Structure 1
Amino acid sequence: MGSDRRFTFALAGWIALLGAALAASVGAFMLPGLGAGRIVALLGVAGATAGLWLHVRQTNRTVARFVEALRFGDSATRFGLEQGAGFRELGEALDAAMTRAHARQEAMAGELRFLEALVDDMPIALLTIDAEGQVTLANKAARRLFRDVQGARAEDYVRYSATLARQLAEGRPGETMLLIALDGMPQNVLVRRASLDRLGRRISVVTVQPVQGMLNAVEAAAQTDLVRVLTHEILNSLTPVTSLAETAAGLLEAPDLAAEPRVADARAAVSALARRASGLSHFIEAYRAVARSPEVRRQRFLALPWAEELVRIFAAEAAELPIRLIVEPQDLPLDADPDLLAQVVINLLRNARQAMDGHTDAPHITLRVKPYGQAVLLEVEDCGPGVPPALRHDIFLPFFTTRANGTGVGLNLARQIAIAHGGTIEVRDAPDGGALICLALPHA
């Protein structure tokens, strides 16, 4: 970058003028009787000096404005100067530099907006913790997950988990699996912590990722594979037993063996064996459905008319049993497969009725549908004996049952349907001592 020709000529002219004024002043002072000439000469020196100073000062002011604009990030300032100033080339060069700086600022701002949107929309909750221990919910997922937090300190998270609060307050970088209370239900979350430098200050970045749904899906898949293998192997072993028992029973039906009393006993035993083997084969074949994941056909529908229909269906087989239906609000929508969900609720109502049989003189059931945070809860509450804490996980296992005539399939299938919807199911204590089955589904 350099001065154009006019700047050079103007500078040379002012210097020449100053030199001439100085020479005239020296001559005026050397010759006697030139008092007026001396004054004119001094005025000429002053004028030339002022002109040269203003000419140079304009350059300094322009450069100073450029430096100030860079200092404060003002890339919109322009430096085009008048033609007579002799600084057009300087102004154009500075304007070009500011245009490039503005373009870089726009590119950086666009990249920053992209990164901010990326962080804000990422599905994993992100929290930052500064050196003073202030916790900031850094994206939408964090604000949804911890929407009930009041305050910005680690101790404010005790309501979710004391361990989580300690992890936020004094945790070390690394990865930890924690059990915290989300939407009133215990859920496993994966907590990762790292340290970063931000503007010369050390901050901690914590991500909280709920993994309960993934763990449930993995467990259900493992159970499904196990059931598939067991039913396959049992049927393979049982088929020849059934065939041989039926063949032996047929042989023992021969007329020439009818007179032998021991043959009659053997015939009865073999026939019973054949019937039981055949019945067991049908039982296993029928419940191989447990090994098939339910296909969910989602649709949006209102909870109230759907639940009222379920109550009417259940009342047809248990008219003597009072059932209370609570749907709040009455226009609450559901986003699920209505048929699969109906199958789950009907099975839960039947389980509740069987649990109360002989346990209370005033049996009653409550079916409740309500929103809870980011989920919708479907609750079936009874006044039976409840479920012991030690069995609350086992009751959802395939073929696990506490009833003599139970199959152990209904609750496992209910869990599979809940997981297929992206939800969870668990059993709690009801307020009056019975069982409270809670099915949580994502909110419509």
Structure 2
Amino acid sequence: MYFKNFRLQIVLRILTLSISILLLVLLIIKSQLYPALFLIAIILVYQIVSLIRFIETTNRRLSQFLQAIRYADFSQSFSIKGLGSSFKELNQAFTDVIEDFKKIRKEKEEQYQYLQTVVQHIGIGLIAFYENGEIELMNSAAKRLLNRPKLRRIQQMENIHADLPKTIMDLKAGQQTTLKIHINGDLMQLAIYSTQFMLYNRLITLVSIQNIRSQLEESEMEAWQKLIRVLTHEIMNSITPISSMAGSVKEILEEMQPEFKKMNNGDLQDSYNDINTAVQTIQKRSEGLLQFVEAYRSLTRLPSPKFEEFSIAELFKSVKKLMDEEFKERNIQCNCLTIPEHLKLTADPAMLEQILINLLKNAADAVNGQPSPQIEIKGFSDEKGRVSILVNDNGQGISEEIQEKIFVPFFTTKKDGSGIGLSLSRQIMRLLKGSITIQSQFGIGTTVHLVF
């Protein structure tokens, strides 16, 4: 018989158990009916086991429910029906607990998804790793920056740059450093910042990685432009009146020349000639300095680019035609290659032509004296879909010390160089939304890489 009340079931089970015990005692004392005695004993054992199983069934359901909460398994529910009002209240209380836990879990999952979305879409590379170098998290920006879709350990970054793993793992919490590396021909100036925190009793290091090369170049170029503006302004203000006065004195001396000749005084004539020569020298050097300053002012007065789509192959053809005569005089072989042939670029063709002419002249100077001087211009679309132009030469190459200064205004290794060619080229590339880098091995050659 099934009883719907837990208390009533317990009372009845205890009552029948007591009656069975009493009957068993009476039979033992007053009767020799051993079969009946044996039957009553079996019934008594069954009642005890049944009572224990009845109580343990309820406890087992409670235990399973609490275990489900412990392991966040909210697919189960606590439901014991037909055992009275006290269990109905307990059932409702546990149901409320389940609903609260579901709500909290849902909120946490939403927060986790929100944070994941922010981490994956932020523009700064983030990498979290344990003390042994095992990577716990690597966001999309870091994958794009390092050009690695997946990394399991920090040590695997040796394939990117030999010093990168050690630099990252040696950083202490709150420290930051910079590292210059090349990735697929792109020069990067990485700013690396580190912080640490504990998660599940394990120390995790979180590093942020950002390529600050463009910001550094922009700041450097702005600083040079300000300096050039000040210098050219002061020099022009000082030299212009000197040049003007020298011209005036020269004109006066030319007007007085017939009179000096009439005097027929040799010493006076020599003095006149010395003064005239000195004035001409002053005027010539003043005008030369004015032209020099005017050339540097071009760094601060570049016009806005006129963007249009054009063929890379046609641009190469035009530039090569302009340089052909010089190449023939120096016996330089120049090859142009475009992959694919119909490759096009949206930029200012006149500005880009100016850059290429400057780079080809530098390359021609670099291969001068080589037994088989060669220059190659190559246009292609790189693995990121960006249009790239390479200018290669087999010259003597450039030392690392000089490479650090190659884009600095006024710096030149040529006797008759002005030091503005590569500086101007880099500034034009920034106006064209591109970049210019140089890779060189001393004694092997140099490659200039333009990326748009």
Count of matched residue positions in the alignment of Structure 1 and Structure 2: 426
The CA distance in 1 between the partners of 2:359 and 2:394, in whole Å, is: 13
| Residue 223 of structure 2 is aligned to residue 222 of structure 1 | yes
The CA distance in 2 between the partners of 1:188 and 1:79, in whole Å, is: 59
| Alignment match, 1:4 | none
The CA distance in 2 between the partners of 1:383 and 1:367, in whole Å, is: 12
| Alignment match, 1:179 | 180
Alpha-carbon offset, residue 264 of structure 1: 6.4
| Alignment match, 2:440 | 428
Query: Whose relative contact order is higher, 1 or 2, with alpha carbons under 8 Å and at least 6 apart?
Result: 1
| Residue 318 of structure 2 is aligned to residue 312 of structure 1 | yes
Structure 1 residue identity aligned to 2:5: A
Structure 1 residue identity aligned to 2:286: A
The CA distance in 2 between the partners of 1:24 and 1:396, in whole Å, is: 106
The CA distance in 2 between the partners of 1:108 and 1:293, in whole Å, is: 54
| Alignment match, 2:238 | 237
Taking structure 1 as reference, are residues 26 and 405 closer, same or farther at Cα in structure 2, changes over 3 Å only?
closer
Q: Secondary structure at the match of 2:198?
A: strand
The CA distance in 1 between the partners of 2:17 and 2:406, in whole Å, is: 110
Alpha-carbon offset, residue 227 of structure 1: 1.4
The CA distance in 2 between the partners of 1:23 and 1:395, in whole Å, is: 104
| Alignment match, 1:166 | 166
**1:55-98 deviation line (CA, Å, top 9, x unaligned):** 86675455334312202212243445657865444333322221
Q: Secondary structure at the match of 2:293?
A: helix
Structure 2, gaps ≥5 residues long = 34-39, 262-268
Q: Secondary structure at the match of 1:177?
A: strand
Identity of aligned residues (%): 27
Structure 1 residue identity aligned to 2:165: A
| Residue 364 of structure 2 is aligned to residue 353 of structure 1 | yes
Query: Contact conserved, 1:149 with 1:156, CA < 8 A, in 2?
Result: no
Say which of 5, 12, 35 aligns to 1:10.
Answer: 5
**1:262-320 deviation line (CA, Å, top 9, x unaligned):** 45664565355345434533442343121246756667x57xx2243232243145256
**1:370-413 deviation line (CA, Å, top 9, x unaligned):** 45555654221234554455433444222334445543322111
Normalised by the length of structure 2, the TM-score is 0.74
Alpha-carbon offset, residue 102 of structure 1: 0.8
| Alignment match, 2:335 | 324
Taking structure 1 as reference, are residues 84 and 27 closer, same or farther at Cα in structure 2, changes over 3 Å only?
closer
Q: Secondary structure at the match of 1:325?
A: strand
Query: Contact conserved, 2:243 with 2:283, CA < 8 A, in 1?
Result: yes
Structure 1 residue identity aligned to 2:315: E
Structure 2 residue identity aligned to 1:342: E
The CA distance in 1 between the partners of 2:346 and 2:94, in whole Å, is: 61
Q: Note the 1:12-411 alignment, pairs <5 A.
A: 13-14=8-9, 60-79=59-78, 82=81, 86=85, 87-135=87-135, 138-147=138-147, 152=152, 155-168=155-168, 172-173=172-173, 174-184=175-185, 187-254=188-255, 258-261=258-261, 262=269, 263=272, 266-267=275-276, 269-270=278-279, 273-274=282-283, 276-292=285-301, 295=304, 305-318=311-324, 321=328, 322-330=333-341, 334=345, 337-356=348-367, 359=369, 363-371=373-381, 374=384, 377-411=388-422
**1:43-65 deviation line (CA, Å, top 9, x unaligned):** 99999999988886675455334
Q: Secondary structure at the match of 2:76?
A: coil
Query: Contact conserved, 1:426 with 1:437, CA < 8 A, in 2?
Result: yes
Q: Secondary structure at the match of 1:407?
A: coil
Taking structure 1 as reference, are residues 333 and 99 closer, same or farther at Cα in structure 2, changes over 3 Å only?
farther
Q: Secondary structure at the match of 1:190?
A: strand
The CA distance in 2 between the partners of 1:343 and 1:308, in whole Å, is: 15
The CA distance in 2 between the partners of 1:50 and 1:26, in whole Å, is: 14
The CA distance in 1 between the partners of 2:51 and 2:400, in whole Å, is: 96
Normalised by the length of structure 1, the TM-score is 0.75
Q: Secondary structure at the match of 1:367?
A: strand
The CA distance in 1 between the partners of 2:103 and 2:149, in whole Å, is: 41
| Alignment match, 1:3 | none
Structure 2 residue identity aligned to 1:369: G
Q: Secondary structure at the match of 1:98?
A: helix
Q: Secondary structure at the match of 1:260?
A: helix
